[in-house]
């Protein structure tokens, strides 16, 4: 009788001890699995981006990506991006894909000079050129810092840029949409770019023929910096 009571007590005690112990082990195992998964995700970078960012070079494979801030061939003459990537928010990416599809039917395609620009880069640009005529104030930000702006032109089936009258990032009246003392071909090309971008929801700015941003979208300014290989 005493023995059976002791056995029952022991049995209960053991099961009580085992219960939480097993549960704790499972919890710990799960936690370890989760913790192990994180480095894997990071290891998979740079192909993986946060959900709300689209890599245009992958999403629209027929565009030419010539990101000038990843080179010294830009108006500050210094490398500002660690590597060249064109990222956009999803809505802007979808709209740009529609532009490229339409151009491709005419044997043309897009060439992209700049897309999303992280705020830390905007601050470094501002330190170098603190002039609102050339660089947006970082506290106010630009559409590039929101991931909905692109600097771009059109190239033909030989990879030649259509004549637009000035180089990209030329700061002067000749780059303005309102400047008309240009060859007829240049005016037509600028109008062609403007019309196709506007038909897919983008809008330009007066002073830069190459700059367009999505009209019906205003995501937050972003600090996100893309990974490099």
Which parts of this chain interact with Zn ion (CB under 5 A)? 151, 211
Burial pattern 114-140, b for ≥16 Cβ within 10 A else e, equals bbbbbbebbeebbeeeeeeeebbebee
Among candidate residues 54, 142, 158, 159, the one with its CA nearest the CA of residue 96:
54
CB of residue 78 to Zn ion, shortest distance in Å: 18
Q: Which is nearer to Zn ion, 55 or 151 (CB)?
A: 151
CB of residue 94 to Zn ion, shortest distance in Å: 19
Number of Cβ within a 10 Å radius of residue 16? 10
DSSP string over 190-227? HHHHHHHHHHTTEEEETTEEEEEEETT--PPP------
Rounded to whole angstroms, how far apart are CA atoms 40 and 125?
Answer: 34
Q: Which is nearer to Zn ion, 111 or 211 (CB)?
A: 211
CB of residue 150 to Zn ion, shortest distance in Å: 7
167, 174, 208, 225: which is the annotated catalytic residue? 208
Residue whose beta carbon is closest to Zn ion: 211
CB of residue 114 to Zn ion, shortest distance in Å: 6
* Helix 184-199 with 90-104: angle, nearest 10 deg: 130
Rounded to whole angstroms, how far apart are CA atoms 41 and 48?
Answer: 8
Catalytic site includes residue 208: yes
Which DSSP state fits 161? B
What are the CA-CA distances from residue 10 to residues 3, 4, 108 (Å)? 10, 10, 81
Q: Which is nearer to Zn ion, 104 or 167 (CB)?
A: 167
CB of residue 144 to Zn ion, shortest distance in Å: 6
Q: Which is nearer to Zn ion, 200 or 211 (CB)?
A: 211
DSSP string over 110-138? EEEEE----HHHHHHHHHH---TTTS--T
Q: Which is nearer to Zn ion, 53 or 116 (CB)?
A: 116
Q: Which residues are catalytic?
A: 208
């Amino acid at each position: 009788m005493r023995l059976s009571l002791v056995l029952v007590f022991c049995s209960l005690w053991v099961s009580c001890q085992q219960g939480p112990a097993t549960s704790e082990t499972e919890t710990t195992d799960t936690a370890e699995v989760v913790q192990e998964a994180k480095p894997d995700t990071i290891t998979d970078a740079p192909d993986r981006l946060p959900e709300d960012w689209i890599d245009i070079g992958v999403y629209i494979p027929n565009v030419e990506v010539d990101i000038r801030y990843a080179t010294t061939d830009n108006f500050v003459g210094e490398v500002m991006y660690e590597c060249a990537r064109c990222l956009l928010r999803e809505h802007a990416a979808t709209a740009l894909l529609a532009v490229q599809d339409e151009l491709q039917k005419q044997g043309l395609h897009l060439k992209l000079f700049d897309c999303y620009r992280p705020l830390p880069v905007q601050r470094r640009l501002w330190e170098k050129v603190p002039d609102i005529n050339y660089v947006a104030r970082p506290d106010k930000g630009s559409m590039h810092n929101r991931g909905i702006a692109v600097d771009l032109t059109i190239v033909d089936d030989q990879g030649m840029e259509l004549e637009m009258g000035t180089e990209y990032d030329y700061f002067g009246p000749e780059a303005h949409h309102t400047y008309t003392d240009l060859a007829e071909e240049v005016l037509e090309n600028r109008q062609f770019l403007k019309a196709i971008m506007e038909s897919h929801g983008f809008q330009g700015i007066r002073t830069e023929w190459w700059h367009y941003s999505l009209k019906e979208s205003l995501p937050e300014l972003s600090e996100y910096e893309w990974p490099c290989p």
